[in-house]
Structure 1
Amino acid sequence: MGFRDIAMFNDSLLVKQAWRLLKHPNSLLHKVFKTRFFPNCTFMEAKHSSGGSHAWNSILHGRDVLLRGCRWRIGNGKAMSICQDHWLPRKNMPQVLSPMVETLAGAKVEILIKEDTRQWDYRLIDGMFTLEEADLIKSIPLSRCKAKDTLFWPFISNGIYTSKSVYRFLKSEEQTEIGEEQRAQIKELWRKIWSLQVPNKIKNLVWRACRNSLPTKDNLVQRPIIESLTCDRCK
């Protein structure tokens, strides 16, 4: 019926704050949080700590969600990890899957670029990656000038984050985790519910029951709206 998953919607709002810290380093928000929580590193390198406030830890959770969806646009390659970051131009599995030797586990993409000519080092790439990934990397165009690496949001045409696009991304992640057979069964269940020859209020009641959104005491305690699970009638 168009109602949003509250947990996912909350995550999308947390990602919004993380995006602001990432894209506006001169803002008051960034200056305050940097002084307090990550004075010696960048926001992307900041780590969770037991001494962090609830607001800060929540923003770090939003950053983790952001990193799952964001993609890197290659500039000089100094900010991107070969193994850990999402920089390959493919929709699924944008991380490198080729096996890496331990000495290159923390290497940056810059080692794959010839600094003098600003071109890929084909010989090095062919020796490090599988044939498919090597061809994919060599197809990425490089800037002639030494621009910085930048993060962009690939699920919207202008590459700029929106809460709606993050919510859709999280929903698509959830659907990917559900098997095809189970997804077909769920779809058939909803088709049968909405085709019932009953008043709409009955369909709505069934929908709310299936989504566990009825105001049962269990749900009201979790919100929290009430404090006790005890039945008012039988105690």
Structure 2
Amino acid sequence: MKDIWEESDLMGMGQWDVSIQMCGEKLREWDAKVYKKVPRRTNWLKRRLERLTNMRLSRGLVEEIREVEEELRVLRRSQETAAWQRCRPFVLRDGDRNTAYFHNKATERKKRNRITRMVDKDGVMKEEKEEIAEIVVDYFNELSTTSRPQINIDDLGMINKCVTEEMNTELDNMFMMEEVKAGLKEMHPCKSPGPDGLPALFYKRYWDLIGAKITTVVLNFLNGGQMPEQLNYSHVVLIPKKKDPTNMKDLRPISLYDSIVFVRANDREATVNADILRRYEGLSGKKVNLDKCETSFSNNLESNIRESTKSILVMREVEWHDRYLGLPTLLGRSKKVSFASIKDRIWKKLQGWKEKLLSRDGKEVLIKSVAQAIPNYAMSCFKLPTTFCHEFESIIRKLWWGSSGGKNGIHWKNRGFMCRPKVEGGLGFHNFEAFNEALLAKQLWRLYSQPHSLLARIYKARYHPHACPWEVGLGAAPSYAWRSIMGARQLLIQRVRWRIGNGKCINIWQDRWLGGEGSGRVINPTRLLHENACVSTLIDENNGCWRDDLIKEVFFAVDYERIKSIHISRRLPEDKLC
């Protein structure tokens, strides 16, 4: 590598881009001459090893077998590494070491991501690579061309200042070479190589050799504003919104802005909303794509108001927004229909894998890292139907036990064994119904522990304005999301404990405030102290400690020891749930 870099540097007359380009070409030549011979060498070593193992053993033969096995191991490892880099399976980074699997994964990904045809702005289908590239470039050129908007300086006053003077001073400091190297270290080694085909791994591995020249180019841009044109070359990364996209509107750049706005359906609010979008365009320099904007109305809205509002917003009308952030915006009576897409995603994800390409360990990683992760977001927001959860588990069991071609493999263990934790001798797969409840209980805990979040403030105003979120009922006409979260209330109540501060919020007889195993409540019957007595009654506020004589008089020995084991802060802070 040192020879290649020095030669390319000399021939490129010190120009960094020429050096990088020539270095890449030399590496590709080396790959064709040396690495492409690895499969042939591997096959030859396999045959050699087979012949040696059939011969009469001797000391020299054993040593030769070891040498052949070691070289074979090194070559196989290099093939697997190359296949892994080509595949870039970041989810399965600790999974199979099966080269066939990696090759098939890369082939399927390449086939799925290939754009074979595209409709231009005149509606003509194009299939040539050059024509497709021209359509993409024209689309983004038009999208990025400024319309010279008029900016109202007064609008800038509505933007809150987030950068302090100290922060601004620090941002104005000159960039240093250490920061360039630190930025490189944070980059994933094999993600998103540029047009030169060299991933970040190349720059990391040979930084001592090429770092000085690369650092000079980067600092000249960051500190001096000198931007070489070729440094701005990049790949356009697109995300399809549907299968087999043929129009640029069916693809979107990797940077996304998901937004949903609620307004009353009248001319005044529609005009204000349109004005806000116009001001946003002027201040941000970004054009709102009205072709991708949609509006929907409630069913009881009069048609004339509907038409008037649409004409002001200049957006197409839809009956409802089918999905928002991957979740259904409206839930009908049949929850199975609403969440059917989640089941389909799991099924399609697992159907694309050939059983012969995955070992047992590989299947486990696939199930736990991919299949079980798909419904996580939906399950943290909604209670999925029980039948759905069982169907998820059934799909996973079929993959695990080798069901294929319409034939079910033998299930040697039942569902309980598969969902049992590994420390208890099981396989550690999800019990989806229990996991769903746990995620919803976690969501309920967030409403309590993060009361200033937007979601917590909305729920508090709607359902529990004067109480803790799990101390109220469902309320009038509750949403399915709120009913789902409240369905996990009992699970949270059983496990939540009070952390004692001043004790004024904790009922001695009813609340869970004792540590250790068990319910967390005192086992004493109510006596001497009234039923609404608080823990603060048992605390000496002057000295910040327990009132030992009172506790010994009121409680049994078991409760006495558990209470005395709780540390009391002399500051007597507020009580907290934990």
**Match of 2:537, SS?**
helix
Equivalence for 2:478: 52
Read off the aligned partner of 1:34 and give its amino acid letter. K
CA distance in structure 2 between the aligned counterparts of 1:65 and 1:114, rounded to whole angstroms:
34
CA distance in structure 2 between the aligned counterparts of 1:19 and 1:27, rounded to whole angstroms:
12
Equivalence for 1:42: 468
1:138 positional shift? 1.6
8 Å Cα contact 1:81-1:109 kept in structure 2: yes
1:35 positional shift? 0.6
- 488, 491, 515: which is aligned to 1:62? 488
Equivalence for 1:105: 531
Read off the aligned partner of 1:4 and give its amino acid letter. H
Alignment of 1:68-217 (within 5 A): 68-101=494-527, 104-152=530-578
CA distance in structure 2 between the aligned counterparts of 1:90 and 1:10, rounded to whole angstroms:
27
1:17 and 2:443 correspond = yes
**Match of 1:146, SS?**
coil
8 Å Cα contact 1:113-1:119 kept in structure 2: yes
- Which one has a bigger Cα radius of gyration? 2
Distance change (3 Å), C-alpha of 1:11 and 1:102: farther
1:85 positional shift? 2.1
Read off the aligned partner of 2:455 and give its amino acid letter. L
1:50 positional shift? 5.2
CA distance in structure 2 between the aligned counterparts of 1:113 and 1:62, rounded to whole angstroms:
34
1:99 positional shift? 0.5
CA distance in structure 2 between the aligned counterparts of 1:62 and 1:88, rounded to whole angstroms:
23
1:17 positional shift? 0.8
8 Å Cα contact 2:528-2:554 kept in structure 1: no
- The farther-off stretch of 53-62 and 34-43 is 53-62
1:89 positional shift? 1.8
CA-atom RMSD in angstroms: 2.0
1:111 positional shift? 1.2
Distance change (3 Å), C-alpha of 1:31 and 1:129: same
8 Å Cα contact 1:19-1:63 kept in structure 2: no
8 Å Cα contact 2:494-2:519 kept in structure 1: no
1:44 positional shift? 4.3
Equivalence for 1:6: 432
**Match of 2:447, SS?**
helix
CA distance in structure 2 between the aligned counterparts of 1:138 and 1:37, rounded to whole angstroms:
38
CA distance in structure 2 between the aligned counterparts of 1:32 and 1:18, rounded to whole angstroms:
13
1:124 positional shift? 1.7
Distance change (3 Å), C-alpha of 1:57 and 1:101: farther
CA distance in structure 2 between the aligned counterparts of 1:74 and 1:134, rounded to whole angstroms:
16
CA distance in structure 1 between the aligned counterparts of 2:502 and 2:470, rounded to whole angstroms:
17
**Match of 2:498, SS?**
strand
Read off the aligned partner of 2:536 and give its amino acid letter. E
CA distance in structure 2 between the aligned counterparts of 1:53 and 1:106, rounded to whole angstroms:
34
TM-score, reference length from structure 2: 0.25
CA distance in structure 1 between the aligned counterparts of 2:513 and 2:458, rounded to whole angstroms:
30
**Match of 1:64, SS?**
helix
1:55 positional shift? 2.0
Question: Residue deviations 1:118-163, cap 9 Å, x none?
Answer: 11111221222111211221221100102122222xxxxxxxxxxx
**Match of 1:142, SS?**
coil
**Match of 1:10, SS?**
helix
1:59 positional shift? 1.7
8 Å Cα contact 2:507-2:532 kept in structure 1: yes
1:15 positional shift? 0.9
Give the helix-richer structure, 1 or 2: 2
CA distance in structure 1 between the aligned counterparts of 2:434 and 2:484, rounded to whole angstroms:
13
Question: Residue deviations 1:63-101, cap 9 Å, x none?
Answer: 321121122221111222212222212122321111114
CA distance in structure 2 between the aligned counterparts of 1:86 and 1:137, rounded to whole angstroms:
12
CA distance in structure 1 between the aligned counterparts of 2:529 and 2:546, rounded to whole angstroms:
20
Q: Structure 1 regions of 5+ residues with no counterpart?
A: 153-235
8 Å Cα contact 1:118-1:142 kept in structure 2: yes
1:43 positional shift? 2.4
Question: Residue deviations 1:42-71, cap 9 Å, x none?
Answer: 324323435433322322232321121122
8 Å Cα contact 1:17-1:62 kept in structure 2: no
- The farther-off stretch of 85-94 and 10-19 is 85-94
> Which fold has the larger relative contact order, with Cα–Cα distance below 8 Å and residues 6 or more apart in sequence?
1
1:19 positional shift? 1.4
Read off the aligned partner of 2:429 and give its amino acid letter. F
Equivalence for 1:203: none
Distance change (3 Å), C-alpha of 1:129 and 1:102: closer
Question: Residue deviations 1:183-235, cap 9 Å, x none?
Answer: xxxxxxxxxxxxxxxxxxxxxxxxxxxxxxxxxxxxxxxxxxxxxxxxxxxxx
Aligned residues: 152
8 Å Cα contact 2:470-2:486 kept in structure 1: no
CA distance in structure 2 between the aligned counterparts of 1:43 and 1:102, rounded to whole angstroms:
32
